[in-house]
Amino acid sequence: MTIENHSQNTQANWTYDPAPQSIEHVDIHDSYELFINGKFTASKNGSYRDSINPATEKTLTKVAEAGVEDVDLAVEAARQAYEGPWSQMTAAERGKFLFRIARMIQERSRELAIVESLDGGKPIRESRDVDIPLAAAHFFYYAGWADKLDYAFPGRQAQSVGVAAQIIPWNFPLLMAAWKLAPALATGNTLVLKPAETTPLTAMILADIIREADLPPGVVNIVTGDGDLGKQLVRHPGIDKIAFTGSTTVGKEIMRALAGKDKRFTLELGGKAANIVFADAAIDQAIEGIVNSIFFNQGHVCCAGSRLFVEESVAKEVTQKLRERMETLIVGDPLDKNTDIGAINSFDQLKRIQSYVEIGQQEGGDLYQSNCILPETGYWHAPTLFSNVSQSHRIVQEEIFGPVLAIQTFRTVDEVIDKANNTPYGLSGGVWTDKGAKIFKVTRNIRAGVIWANTFNKFDPSSPFGGYKESGMGREGGVEGLLPYLKLTPNTR
Amino acid sequence: MKLSETKVDQIGVQERVARLQSRSIKADSKKEALTLALSMIDLTTLEGRDSPNKVRQLCYKATHLHESFPGLPHVAAICVYAPMIRTAKEALQGSTVKVAAVATAFPSGMTSLETKLDEVKQAAQDGADEIDMVISRGRFLSGDFDYVAEEINRVKEACGSAHLKVILETGELVTLDNVRTASDIAMAAGADFIKTSTGKIQPAATPEVTLVMMQAIKDFYHKNGRKVGLKPAGGISKSKQAIQYLVMLRETLGQDWLNPDLFRFGASSLANDILMQVVKQNTGIYQSASYFSLD
């Protein structure tokens, strides 16, 4: 027998080749118009705004900028539709439209995922596996409620509110549109939706889906533009209800603008959530939870766990493991199937994150960033940790909305509960421990709308989401998510 | 020995596995992975009907994986029952393919420690480079961790210079907490490798169990500075699975573990599936299974 000796046991340096998502079948138009009264129409002033791919800084397309007249038309169309076909229709018929939209989102899911990643910079893994499936799930969930509203609130009769103005952010563009549209439509309202100016494209595809679904004209109107357009919508006399997701600063402005007016509103605002790791937690799984809590969607998540509290006895181990795990995070092309962290959504947001990282260093925090190589063009930020910080540091107090985590240690349960609550925000939180009793003690005492135990950033349409304190008011999702869009009266039947 | 203090969260492990499995391995990185996986295989035959000729055929295959495709590595080892060690050593003379033998009343481990030690000593004497022992699962599940540790320790002594792989038989340990505890015990007691399964109990190797064992190895390395190897065995028969295990290895234990000294696949039919993929990657055409030898 002849024996050949091949080179064995050579030290491997195995890396992953690019695995790009094919985008050939996606057709991005040269321009997108406003969607008013069931038709795509140019804005009255004829102006457009470029929509940029933040990973390349290249212009993807241009999108119409709505002005005052367009807002009037959109609100008028919504009013007509509300008085007309939409309120005449049986609830079961309304539900069918929602089911149809949900199915069409699923049918066009790959296209929507690609456009979401192109327009907003998020990794295709997330837009494909999280954003788009959840958006469809939200429509399915509320479609089911449409003809069961009489049973949702026993003893009370539910009536729609009227015309809603819905203003959504740029971090989960289609998903936030779904969170707003689905409950509003299921409850029989009509609406005017304003997507964020940096990420309008999936909303435009949604408009196309709504048109194809044969929804009566004017039930859904979509106007594109920046914060000024949002202001006009909020102040428009034809609007009965405002639903806003965005920054706390703008949320406060909206409350001031609406003071003394008979308009309903819900606000889903910022956060600075505490993610608490006890020494008795499953540490390796907690590390994954930390990664998901702060590096998911580049940290552009209002409920991100941006304040990490680690019990002192395991702080060294957790920090070490977190650093090692950060080295395996792949930062780069959002359309590569292996990318974990994509592009920062916009130049302005990148500057904001960078300024906070500078502030953190000036304040004396210990900075650690993973050794990833950032692409030269586009907006990028390495995953970042700050340790040796306290509740008095600005990077611990203020929402950064980027992949920047501040780590503090604690010794006792009561201490960490106090510190977790020591913030003007109250949107979310996380607790990691193997002990059930400790989970209940912590979750019961933290003032936040959603608190995850041994997991983080889990969303489901049946689960209400919303904030305490300066993180907002009102709930989206679940039965509670119907309430902002309903007038409840005692049942007289 | 006291119970391991490291907790494992099953849901968290499943989610991590799912995320690792979503890695998309293409082009050259796929070719590299396939070659690497071939070089990590413990080509295995563990049947009551095994004969010297069957073992000789397997040994030839170990060094001649696919003659029509030159440049392929040989597998890492041949894994046989103890009576086949001499035959395998002879057949593999001149190659660097190791001979691994299962011992300690494989697969059940149901005999006295003395009998086990005799078996291990004989295997070492016959020239086994590696000895794959099974832990006493009954003792483990009854909470007698001291016995399990002591047994591994004694077997390690009996191995002499042969490398010791400790089979946890995770399919019988059931929970991931148990897998973690057994891994910690085995490493502390001197295991050179920890191995998931005998292949005789279902489920055999699973990605979840393997991930937990990788994390145990990593913690052990950080604490003691010794690199313990890992061998998932049983149920890994497809290239795609093998690549997913390598992804998990790379992102959990890192490049240092990406070689046959520290990672093995215990498998019998995996080699041919990888060979089929290697040929496909290079020619663009899937060949029929008939073109790959069944030894």
What is the predicted ipTM? 0.94
Please give the average per-residue pLDDT across A390-415, as a whole number: 98
Q: Does pLDDT of A7 surpass 90? A: no
What pLDDT score was predicted for residue A10? 52
Tens-digit pLDDT profile for residues A358-379: 999 999 999 999 999 999 999 9
Strand order in the sheet with A163-167: A39-41, A34-36, A220-222, A190-194, A163-167, A241-245, A264-268, A472-473
Q: Where are the domains of chain A?
A: 31-269+471-490, 274-460
Instruction: Among A304-308, B16-20, B277-281, name the one with the lowest average pLDDT.
Output: B277-281
Taking contacts as CB-CB distances below 8 angstroms, the residues of chain B near A130 are none
- B264 in Cβ contact with B193 (< 8 Å): yes
At B70 the pLDDT is: 86
Selecting from A12, A280, A320 the residue whose C-beta is nearest the C-beta of B258 gives A12
Interatomic CA distance for residues A109 and A127, integer angstroms? 9
Confidence band (pLDDT; 50, 70, 90) for B51? very high
Asked if B96's CB is within 8 angstroms of A8's CB, the reply is yes
Q: Please report the pLDDT score of residue B268 as a whole number.
A: 87
pLDDT at A329: 97
Q: What is the pLDDT of residues A453-488, one digit of tens each?
A: 999 999 999 999 999 999 999 999 999 999 999 999
CATH architecture of B10-280: Alpha-Beta Barrel (3.20)
Helix (H) or strand (E) holding A190: strand A190-194
Pick the residue from chain A with its C-alpha nearest to B77: A8
Residues 232-261 of B with CB under 8 A from A: 246, 250-251, 255, 258-261
pLDDT at position B69 is 87
List the single residue in B92, B215, B222 with the smallest CB-CB distance to A284. B215
Asked if pLDDT for residue B15 goes beyond 50, the answer is yes
A4, A126, A280, A284: best mutation site toward chain B, by most B Cβ within 10 Å?
A284
Average pLDDT over residues B202-230: 97
Q: Predicted confidence band at A492 (pLDDT cuts at 50, 70, 90)?
A: confident
In CATH, which of 1.20.140.10, 3.20.20.70, 3.40.309.10, 1.10.150.20 is domain A274-460?
3.40.309.10
CB pairs under 8 A between A and B: 102
Chain B residues with CB under 8 Å of A10 CB are 259
**pLDDT higher than threshold 80 for residue A245:** yes
Is residue A222 helix, strand or coil? Answer: strand
Alpha helices (H) in A363-484, listed in sequence order = 394-397, 413-421, 436-445
Question: Which residue in chain B is spatially nearest to A8 when comparing CA positions?
Answer: B73
Question: Cα separation of A306 and A324, whole Å?
Answer: 19
pLDDT band at A354 (very low <50, low <70, confident <90, very high): very high
The whole-number pLDDT of residue A169 equals 98
Burial of A395: CB neighbours in 10 Å, binned 0-12, 13-18, 19+: buried
Mean pLDDT across the stretch A340-355? 98
For residue B177, give every residue at least 6 positions away whose Cβ sits within 8 Å of its Cβ, in sequence order, or none: B7, B8
Cβ A127 vs Cβ A108: under 8 Å: no
How do residues A129-188 score in pLDDT, each as one tens digit? 999 999 999 999 999 999 999 899 999 999 999 999 999 999 999 999 999 999 999 999
Q: Is A4 in contact with B63 (Cβ distance < 8 A)?
A: yes
Indicate yes or no: CB of A9 within 8 angstroms of CB of B261: yes
CB B104 within 8 A of CB B133: yes
Residues A341, A140: Cα–Cα separation, whole Å = 29
Which residues, including other chains, have CB under 8 Å from residue A465's CB and lie 6 or more apart?
A: A268, A303, A449, A450, A459, A475, A476, A477
Rounded distance, CA A489 to CA A468, Å? 26
When pLDDT is averaged across residues A19-25 and rounded to a whole number, the result is 95
Residue-wise pLDDT for A98-134, tens only, equals 999 999 999 999 999 999 999 999 999 999 999 999 9
Q: What mean pLDDT value characterizes chain A?
A: 96
Chain A positions touching chain B (beta carbons under 8 Å)? 1, 3-19, 125, 129, 280-286, 288-289, 320, 328, 337-338, 434, 454-455
pLDDT in the model for residue A493: 62
Separation in Å, CA of B110 to nearest CA in chain A? 33
Asked if CATH classification 3.40.605.10 holds for the domain at A31-269+471-490, the reply, yes or no, is yes
Give tens-digit pLDDT for B101-131.
999 999 999 999 999 999 999 999 999 999 9
Residue A3 confidence (pLDDT): 36
